[in-house]
A and B are shown apart, each in its own frame.
Chain A
Amino acid sequence: MTKVIKLKRGFDINLKGKAENTVSEASMPKTFALKPTDFLDVTRPKVLVEEGETVKAGTPLVYDKKHSRIMLTSPVSGEVVEVKRGKKRKLLEVVILADSEQVYEEYPRYSVSELNNLTREQVEEQMLKSGVWPQLVQRPYGLFADPEEAPKAIHVSGFDTHPLAPDYDVLFKGQEQYFQAGIDVLKKLTPGTIHLNVAADREINAAFGNAQGVQINKFSGPHPAGNPGVQIHHLDPVNRGDIVWTIRPFGVIQIGKLFLEGKYDASRIVALAGSEVEKPQYYKTYQGAKIESITKGKLTNDHVRYISGNVLTGTKVNPDSYLGYYDDLISVIPEGDNYELLGWIKPTRNKLSYHRAFGLLSFLNPNKEYVLSTNMQGEERAFVQTGTFESVMPMDILPTHLIKAIMAEDYDDMESLGIYEVIEEDMALCEFVDVSKHDIQAILREGLDLMKNS
């Protein structure tokens, strides 16, 4: 039975520069990198390779000592040219100089019918070793899925409602069989249901439409309707002691390929979008690609911010940095380090606000696309405004009070106000609309760390 859940609360940030539905080959960058900093869990990394060593796509490069079975592997084949470290020798990147012809680490391959006969141990072993395991993210806390656990459900969100989000129809065109194989494999990992959550107001993506063995649920409403956290809340909430896993469709497809073809395939389609991109569109590349290889010569000006991911939850990167493990979008927006005379009160139609105190008549033009810069639009103040966080969070959670409980380090309140159900992306909109300009996501992570380590 398909469930349809209508969400009213939330807010769509309509930015200029959405990617057009054309896919080009990005110029193959010379270097790729695995960035352990993409993973919250990697705190004691152990590097398995040395500079100068040759690796194949799918060769383990790094693991974390706390999770010694979960390997982080090379996205491409080539030579390890640099193990880059930062302050206090923090491991930042393992950089690979790519071969022109890709060579893959060989893993056992199975036919579609054989997939059903695999045991959990076989599945686990292959996923852990090959580098696809980190695609599984565990709730609560949004960390690596623990291979020792069996989650009560696995959730796949089949659409993305973030600003400038790539269209999954473009990203996963023609990947039906891999998606299905991925689902078949994931079924070995949970005794519960695999939920595939899709948008109610549009046609189901071909890659997902015929999926077997999943519970399809439909969601409608503004962002964050596409966030797994919101979907889980409405379908099968995370309570104390519960474990739920989430995975992006790309991860499911990557797992499917691993088992059907026996290789760790990190190739992906990435959207280059944002107001500062001349022709926003999609590019074929690999996970961990150098940002420059995709953006060079395609921007309208150079005073910009490059973001690996979307503008709500992504990470600022330099052009000579690398694409994040989970990211299928590079957003380029203007850097807003300029002063604006009376900017806080000046009437203008070019600023976007959830609050009607700015742009009172903006409802007349709901489809208007905005160019937003990285300016803070004000200074940090104490919490004053009430009720707005609640109105952009379509969950039965009181975000203001949860944040205050975290600031007070009140463990009982954090737990009873629902901290297990959220990770940063679920509260990103609260951070956007906050008139007092707090770093809500960072505060939430502090709370999650407190709970995890308590």
Chain B
Amino acid sequence: MKALRNLLDKQKPLFEKGGKFEKFYYLYEAGDTFLFTPNHTTKPKGVHVRDAVDLKRMMMTVVIAMIPALLFGMWNMGHQHFLAIGQEADFWTKFFLGAKLVLPIVIVAYAAGGAIEALFAVVRKHPINEGFLVTGMLIPLCMPVTIPLWQVALATVFAVVIAKEVFGGTGMNVLNVALTARAFLYFAYPSDISGEVWTYLGDATPIDGYSGATALAIAAEEGLANTEMAVTGAWSEFWAPFFTFKQMFLGSIPGSIGETSTVMALVGAVILILTGVGSWKIILSVFAGAYLTGLGFDALGGNAFLNMPAHYHLVIGGLAFGAVFMATDPVSAAHTEKGKWIYGLLIGVLTVIIRVTNPAYPEGIMLAILLMNVFAPLIDYNVIAANKKRRLKRATV
């Protein structure tokens, strides 16, 4: 440890003012502070002791909360592959195939995001934002496994620059960065992120009747009746046993890498809530909003999709993943505690509205969160205005 510290201290003058690599100071600083908590002490006036948590720790906790979803995603991507080609395979075979497919996407997202962060840090002379630790993991988890790597890189660069750096970096962004990456791909390369892209086939041919559609796509097209999927058509007979409530809750269905499993999202939610990093108010209210709206549409009726039981909305598609990891982004969400309830509830409501009334794209959580990101400041504005009004009421002058 001491040798490492000495090595870093020896290099330091090169990066400091007047040094050879002065320009790259913040790259050095990023490495240094990653390895060692710095020796900075508190000021002579103000608090003399500080809480042990810093932004790095907070961001890392979110990454840890995503690991169950990532690991499950790796297995599931392998599992889906073998299902589609009609072969049997054991757990580890599936997992390693999934890992082989997923890890490059994770690495590309981190590399592209990290490079842009480093570039901005050097040019704009600000410390590297730890936010990319989370973004770099979120982006792969909301991508289909077949996504071309160059698209991952492009989307990451677009999102980090347009959704974050132009606003001033982590803490200043209006939109959720990872969702911006996904939305970018959705609008720029729709054929690679919707339709039958959710399962990796490789060179193998799928079995007869196979379709790579997601549960939501099937539901939108065919409708779901009663409590089980009663889908028609040759290919759906193959899938019917897989799209049960239990199956969708567990998550062994086609979909984005990390978002198919409600249970893994909930494990993440437990980690985020227990560690106090994610807002339970937002998570709970997204689910409540979606469920209540689902109930409403259920009662209203209309077509088969509208009639889908409300609780299906909670496990189908990326609702759980979005609620837990995307909606709770503290920067782009509402900042006030009351605002968080409204923000989450509206995300849930909008998600279901978009799902059931939008014929083009059955998943609604992405657009619902991005839309509410934009409205979050308005929600806060009203909550703050109410606080001001209370104070004004008792004023005498």
Contacts and interface: CB of A to CB of B under 8 A. Distances in A.
A362 to B, nearest CB: 10
A360 interface: yes
Interface in B23-82: 33, 35-58, 60-61
B48 A333 contact: yes
Interface string B1-43: 1001100000000000000000000000000010111111111
A421 B40 CA distance: 32
A356 B273 CA distance: 9
A434 interface: yes
B320 to A, nearest CB: 22
B53 A358 contact: yes
B340 to A, nearest CB: 8
Contacts of A375: 37, 39-42, 50
Contacts of A357: 53, 57-58, 61, 275-277
Contact of B53 (A400, A417, A435): A435
Interface string A339-374: 111111100000111111111100000000000111
A416 interface: yes
A15 B49 CA distance: 10
Contacts of B33: 344, 379
A239 B49 contact: no
A387 B333 CA distance: 11
Interface string B278-296: 0100000000000000000
Interface residues of A, number: 77
Contacts of B5: 339, 341
Main secondary structure of the interface of A (DSSP, over half): loop
B396 interface: yes
B330 interface: yes
Given A239-B391, A356-B276, A416-B391, A378 B47 contact: no
A436 B395 CA distance: 34
Contacts of A442: 43, 45-46
Contacts of B57: 344-345, 357-358, 378, 435
B336 interface: yes
B127 A379 contact: yes
A436 B35 CA distance: 19
Interface residues of B, number: 62
B274 A356 contact: yes
Contacts of B228: none
Nearest to A418: B391
Interface stretch (A66-74, A171-179, A259-267, A307-315): A307-315
B245 to A, nearest CB: 32
Contacts of B340: 387
Nearest to B29: A379
B360 interface: no
B41 A439 contact: no
Contact of B331 (A345, A360, A379, A384): A384
Q: Which of A385, A417, A418 has the most CB of B within 10 A?
A: A385
B387 A398 contact: yes
B35 A342 contact: yes
B352 to A, nearest CB: 26
B195 to A, nearest CB: 36
B168 A382 contact: yes
Contacts of B169: 382
B27 to A, nearest CB: 15
B181 to A, nearest CB: 19
A237 interface: yes
The 10 closest A-B pairs by CB, nearest first: A378-B54, A382-B171, A343-B37, A241-B397, A351-B52, A316-B44, A416-B388, A372-B49, A339-B36, A376-B40
12 contacts: A15-B49, A335-B41, A340-B37, A356-B276, A357-B58, A376-B50, A378-B37, A383-B171, A386-B336, A396-B390, A418-B391, A432-B50
